A and B are shown apart, each in its own frame.
Chain A
Amino acid sequence: MTDILRVDELSAGYGPLGVLHGVSMTVRAGERIGIVGLNGHGKSTLLKAIAGLTGWQRGSIQLNGVEIGGTRSQGPGRFTHRIVRMGLALMPQGDALFHGLTVADHLDSGAFTTRAWRERKQRRERVLAIFPPLSKLLAQPVGRLSGGERRMVSLARGLMSDAKLLLVDEPSLGLAPKISRGLVEALMQIDLADGAMIIAEQNLSLLEGKVTRLLGLHAGKLKGGAVTQDTALTPHLLHHH
């Protein structure tokens, strides 16, 4: 089993505010990890820290065995594009869409890595099969779509790339329960192959029973390595010490 992501003693924050305190976790190929926790306990910060978007951070983050973390005390987002090109896709809270561009432009923009750009046509077909409602909206500017459709565009854009690790921040935020359930279903159907997915979510019941592991994030620290499938807790412990 290969480790897609290996986080070791990660601390991160913004200015004088420390949000994450010594978080360690390992994500293996084929896993879907759910991170649950209340508002303000560091879920988004954890995902942002992996993408290099926090104000400062310390500790090691390895993506596919390549170090992308390390100590950084300024320049949020300065290396994000490089991390993204190494195989990360973050679908952030608030979607970070380009309001004036069309849905088709968004899907193209998701494929900015060199290989993906060449085969963006096939990839677009594949992504549209996961989110069928989007195929009718391709020529629409995103500013005119509804909240659920925007979230779909954001997820679809993330899936266009070569990403080995998909980070999804709060897929249900601001959406009707039915729509968010549908979105989570769509996320579960994605073929991860040798990749992995981390979903941060406030609503535990949305993820329960669907993901490989659930981790709780409380006050910037991981709580419990709750396991819902056969993978035991001990290997995780052993990795610690």
Chain B
Amino acid sequence: MTAKTQARDMALVGRRRWLPLARSHGSASWHRVRYPLTRRTPLLFETRYNPFTLATERRLVTVRPIAWVLMLALLAVAPPLLGNNSFVGAATLFEMYAAINIVWMLQIGTAGIFSLASLATVGFAAYGSAALSIYAGFPWWAMWLVGPAFGLVFGVLIAIPATRLEGFYYALLTVGIAELCRVYTVQSQPLGAANGGLFGTDGFVPDSMSERHGIILGFYAAFVLLLGALVLYRMINGQRLGRLLRAAPEQHEAFAEALGINYRAARIQVFLISSAALGGIGGFYATLLHGATPALFTMDQLLLLLAMIVIGGIGTAEGAVLGTLIVVLLDKVFISLGPSRLIFIAAVMLGTVLFLRGGLFGIPAQYQAWRGKRQSERRAAQSDKGGEIMPEEATEIADKQAIYTKRFDANLRAELKRLISDQLIEEHRTTMGKRRSDALERVLAHFRSAAVADKYAVLAVKPFAEYRIIALSGRRGVPPRVVDDRLFATPEEALHGVFLKRVQDLMDS
């Protein structure tokens, strides 16, 4: 092997993932930091022996928790320190939308109920708690408390059809329900049809606070809300309910049911819990913005939310947060363009669904699938490899001798193929039992050395009258199989038939 090909082989080192390494010594392998009262660890370490140095090393299996903590810390510190009032306001909106999207992800991803009424749930609770505040004088903390109750009521109402409908039928129905809410709030006088919304609720910012401090207080309240949504996501998706539902993905519910998983109850449970959480966010919304507007029920708002989770990738909390960040940023950066900035957002959304299977966080998986396909195609394109092992396959074979044996075999077959000609076949037919040329002897020697499994043999059906070609099974007790239905009159003809078959196999290999 030349230095050049060696270098190429080194470059193609399979598909191992690079993982951060930590040094290890003795008890460090077994010592784990755990959250109090649980068996959960903050970071997932895996201890193993390095196959070359035989030293123990600890590998961090996923860096995700570290990234989360860093990002959340940045979010908690940066906007109030660096941004002006409108920037902090935008960050507050981002946190609230992110919270809604995370909880929504529980409904769509974990529970598998494709509800498009998430914002309608928020709006219902916002209107409910705002109405109680205005007409019954509820203070802000009471609005936070009744918000989840309203959300739960709405959740129960829209969960009834969810028990019967599936997939898109339900999605369309929830779009209709949101439209129903919008029309009702636009027409209803007690809900502020004349003012374009229901305003004048109690707020949690004390009157004595300056404007800047009030905005920052709102920001941190929304930050706590976001943390709460993340904790809820983790508690449901990562624990018992989430695992039950992961065992019952769409189309495979019957298997889960056969295992005794009551997936329907689990789905509805998750749906109701997340509806209550959305209601809580609704109550918060009403206190933050001092009211509620019919805009909560419009198709455009729903679209914006959908754009957020689609861009990030449906099914993960980080996708929801990243998508929300992108859309809110676009929304605020292009705010000077007025409503036509929605065109940018829609274009980004369109680009995402046209080119990405699972949003931004689906890119690694999509890339892996694409690379797998390309590798397979490339292997197919190299039709002259003749049974040799390709470098990328070689990394997965422990016994390197097998690779060289294969290479030798391939070269040998290529050499023998060059010897096969019509004259050689004719010589085999005519010189049965006589002395043969060197080329024919070499070919025959190769054929005779074949392994017993699938080796051709001649079967005398009626001696001196009917012969057939069979293939040995190579296993004790397993009879040979008939290769084809051709009959030969003499053993010589049959032997020549076997020779032709072997030549054919050689040429095809």
Q: Which residues of A contact B (CB under 8 A)?
A: 9, 11-13, 15-18, 21-22, 55-56, 58-59, 73, 208-209, 214, 221-228, 233-234, 237-238, 240-241
- The complex places the Cα of A11 from the Cα of B507 at a distance, in Å, of 17
A16 contacts B484, CB within 8 Å? no
Q: Which of A17, A221, A223, A225 contacts B376 (CB 8 A)?
A: A17
- The complex places the Cα of A223 from the Cα of B508 at a distance, in Å, of 7
The count of chain B contact residues (Cβ–Cβ below 8 Å) is 25
- The complex places the Cα of A232 from the Cα of B380 at a distance, in Å, of 30
B484 contacts A56, CB within 8 Å? no
B483 contacts A9, CB within 8 Å? no
Query: Distance in Å from the Cβ of A74 to the closest Cβ of chain B?
Result: 9
Q: Which residues of B contact A (CB under 8 A)?
A: 369, 372-377, 379-381, 383, 422, 425, 483-486, 500-501, 503-505, 507-509
- Chain B residues positioned under 8 Å from A225 (CB to CB): 504
Chosen A-B contacts, 9 in total, with CB atoms closer than 8 Å, are A13-B377, A56-B373, A223-B505, A224-B501, A226-B483, A227-B484, A228-B486, A233-B504, A237-B503
- Chain A residues positioned under 8 Å from B484 (CB to CB): 208, 214, 224, 226-228
Looking across the interface, which residue of chain B has its beta carbon closest to that of A209?
Answer: B485
- Chain A residues positioned under 8 Å from B422 (CB to CB): 234, 238
Query: Distance in Å from the Cβ of B370 to the closest Cβ of chain A?
Result: 9
A224 contacts B379, CB within 8 Å? no
- Chain A residues positioned under 8 Å from B379 (CB to CB): 18
A11 contacts B485, CB within 8 Å? no
Assuming A226-B483, A228-B486, is B372 touching A240 (CB within 8 A)? no
**Which of B425, B485, B501 gathers the greatest number of chain A CB atoms within 10 Å?**
B485
**Which of A16, A55, A238 gathers the greatest number of chain B CB atoms within 10 Å?**
A16
A227 contacts B486, CB within 8 Å? yes
Query: Distance in Å from the Cβ of A241 to the closest Cβ of chain B?
Result: 8
B425 contacts A234, CB within 8 Å? yes
**Which of B373, B381, B503, B509 gathers the greatest number of chain A CB atoms within 10 Å?**
B373
- The complex places the Cα of A9 from the Cα of B375 at a distance, in Å, of 18
Query: Distance in Å from the Cβ of A169 to the closest Cβ of chain B?
Result: 21
B373 contacts A73, CB within 8 Å? yes
A222 contacts B508, CB within 8 Å? yes
A16 contacts B504, CB within 8 Å? no
- The complex places the Cα of A237 from the Cα of B372 at a distance, in Å, of 34
The list of the 10 closest CB pairs from A to B, nearest first, reads A16-B372, A11-B380, A226-B484, A208-B485, A18-B376, A22-B383, A9-B383, A16-B376, A15-B373, A58-B380
- The complex places the Cα of A222 from the Cα of B504 at a distance, in Å, of 10
Q: Which of B369, B380, B504, B507 contacts A21 (CB 8 A)?
A: B380
B377 contacts A73, CB within 8 Å? yes
**Which of A58, A237, A238 gathers the greatest number of chain B CB atoms within 10 Å?**
A237
Given contacts A11-B380, A15-B369, A234-B422, 13 further A-B contacts (CB under 8 A): A13-B377, A58-B380, A59-B380, A59-B383, A73-B377, A214-B485, A222-B508, A224-B501, A225-B504, A226-B486, A227-B486, A237-B504, A238-B422
